[in-house]
Structure 1
Amino acid sequence: MTIRAGWPLIQPQPRLSILIYHRVLSEADPMRPDDPDVETFDRQMRLLARYTRVMALDEAIERLERGDLPRGATAITFDDGYADNYSNALPILQRHGLSATFFVATGFLNGGRMFNDTIIEAVNRAGDGGIHLGELGLGHVPTSGTATRYYAMERITQAVKHLPAQARQQALELLLERVGVPVEGGSPMMTDAQVRGLHEAGMLIGAHTVSHTILRRLDDATALREISDSRDYLSGLLRQPVRFFAYPNGRPGQDYGPRETRLARALGFRAALCIARGGAAPGSDLYQLPRYTPHSPSPVKFLAQLMRCSREEAQAVF
């Protein structure tokens, strides 16, 4: 019995499994262990195409609402707007005949850099001497060796990711000053032309705020502006409505709450996506659709994680 034929046993009730990716790297990077390289991503897409029913997000949501979602239904999403989504992920998706939705933080297009990328590059350039970051409540942060640098990156990220955009930028400037070596190289983010290229290739484009700040930390006017400006920029770029939204970071009750779901509804989005383990079932809140990533590079473990999560109905509650 193949897995596809066995979905009624694996998944007694239909669930929509929505997978989330951020980057597809040209080669593996120990500082980005959750981001697959092209070989791993190609293998995962081959498995999804063979064993599940990958659907475009808009079709999947329509069928979820109608109650005729097939078992094994899966949708693929990407967050943030990295250029390797276009250069590395798109050709693989096309090779396997798959669709995906790309949620773009518009403030970083055309030469920008997200804060986590600046942190990784700064830590990599710090050498073995460590970084003193007492102002961030971290004291002396060791940076000798790959494992230690990864831990340093995690600590710094957690210290700054929930700050308002201006305070976060000030923290990054402090970090770069302490490292004493400027971050070099081009932007890792997409250009407008690459976003249009994804759209022209048949992929869906969704909004992901302007600056990828944590919405619950913002006042009402700023939260509204972050979401609506992102939507409007992309709508103008693509010359059509942008119907889907993903909450930055996306943890229910921590990174977004009832106010944010109301904003997503009021701004006319068809659905909004969060980060929660499990699958969406008929009757799930369309403004808290769960997403997760089966992280294992092992094909067997990848499928096992996918099947286990797809059996669970996510409870995205505040």
Structure 2
Amino acid sequence: MAFAWRSALDRLDERLALARLAAGPERPALLAFMFHVLFEDEAAMNRHEVDPQQRITVRVFEQFVAYFVAHGYTFVAPADVLRGLDPAGKYALLTFDDGYYNNRLALPILQRYGVPATFFISTHHVEAGQAFWWDAVYRHRHRHPLPPAAQQAEYAHLKQLRHPEVDHYLVDHFGAGALQPVGDLDRPFTPTELQEFARAPEVILGNHTHHHAVLTNYAPAAAKYELAACQQALVRLVGAPASAVAYPNGNASAAVRAAAVGAGLHLGATVQAGKNYLPFDRYGVDVLLLNRFLLWGDQDVARQCALFRTDFHLKQLLRFWRRA
């Protein structure tokens, strides 16, 4: 009964949100979007080499970019945001987290439409050629599944650990080769590949910590080290530090924000969904804690994009009333 009620509320919320969008213009805002893995096609996704995450193929990504181009959005880089955006404008900030080599598949689309994207890099993985922990877990559990609740608990547990503890868990549970990528799909860029990729004018590199560290698990000094170590590695790799950070798992706090500022970072992205309304100062938008939306490749792309654009959600209103 509760599930049926929530499903009905979701459907009503979507209908009202789309009706509001059709009835009048959008409020000016920056919409930021977060991607991770990019698959060449469905067949690549079905090889089970990498956690499919949001199941985004090249075709889906191009549909998404084309939608926002067609609806009059200006695509921006972190430097554009930091210089200041026209408070009457509609903007999109494209971001990719982690540093997967498969992200190179986005470049022809970015070039075709003339839009930039920011790629947040976990630099230790690039320098060491190390796989990401969630892919190691995904591959192992695909072969040796746990009950769903236990599998969810394993992911939740690993997100609470610091990076040496995560590595120890993987080796202890899955063997000495757990940290090795299995192919081009799950591996990070190599240093040479990242240098070549970063030469494209559409590509901006950002900070995703050195070890993909969930920073709220770390003492303030250690969190600052993770951010500063990534900055230093980016200098080694491409000659310049980043101006923007995406906090792994979206975890941020006052101490993490201060650590980001101390590492020379001026823009930060979370995983909280929502529009960043303009002008930022009027709506209390903290440029170091920007919201980002997730697109899902197994759902209708145009419908999701329309819902990202809308300024009315019944569920948000109901939550506000319950708090009042």
Residues 1-318 of structure 1 correspond to what in structure 2 (within 5 A)?
Answer: 9-12=24-27, 14-28=28-42, 29=45, 32-51=52-71, 52-64=73-85, 68-86=86-104, 88-110=105-127, 111-126=129-144, 130=145, 141-142=146-147, 153-177=151-175, 185-186=182-183, 188-202=187-201, 203-250=203-250, 255-281=251-277, 282-283=280-281, 284-295=285-296, 297-308=299-310
Give ranges in structure 1 of 5+ residues lacking alignment. 1-5, 131-140, 143-147, 313-318
Asked if 1 retains the 8 angstrom alpha-carbon contact of 2:54 and 2:295, the reply is no
Report the alpha carbon displacement of residue 310 of structure 1 after superposing the two structures with TM: 9.4
Runs of 4+, deviation exceeding 6 Å: 180-184, 309-312
Asked if 2 retains the 8 angstrom alpha-carbon contact of 1:11 and 1:310, the reply is no
> Aligned equivalents of 2:107 and 2:197: distance in 1?
7
When residues 33 and 266 of structure 1 are mapped into structure 2, their CA distance, relative to the original with a 3 A threshold, is: closer
> Aligned equivalents of 1:256 and 1:242: distance in 2?
18
> Aligned equivalents of 1:75 and 1:8: distance in 2?
25
Asked if 2 retains the 8 angstrom alpha-carbon contact of 1:77 and 1:103, the reply is yes
Report the alpha carbon displacement of residue 18 of structure 1 after superposing the two structures with TM: 0.6
Report the alpha carbon displacement of residue 184 of structure 1 after superposing the two structures with TM: 6.6
> Aligned equivalents of 2:60 and 2:122: distance in 1?
25
> Aligned equivalents of 1:288 and 1:184: distance in 2?
32
Percentage of identical aligned residues: 23
Asked if 2 retains the 8 angstrom alpha-carbon contact of 1:196 and 1:237, the reply is yes
Size of the aligned set, in residue pairs, is: 279
TM-score, normalised to structure 1, is 0.78
| Aligned AA (2:39) | L
Greater helix fraction, Structure 1 or Structure 2: 2
Report the alpha carbon displacement of residue 100 of structure 1 after superposing the two structures with TM: 0.3
When residues 117 and 181 of structure 1 are mapped into structure 2, their CA distance, relative to the original with a 3 A threshold, is: closer
When residues 69 and 94 of structure 1 are mapped into structure 2, their CA distance, relative to the original with a 3 A threshold, is: farther
| Aligned AA (2:110) | L
TM-score, normalised to structure 2, is 0.77
Say what the alpha-carbon RMSD is for the aligned residues. 2.9
> Aligned equivalents of 2:94 and 2:181: distance in 1?
32
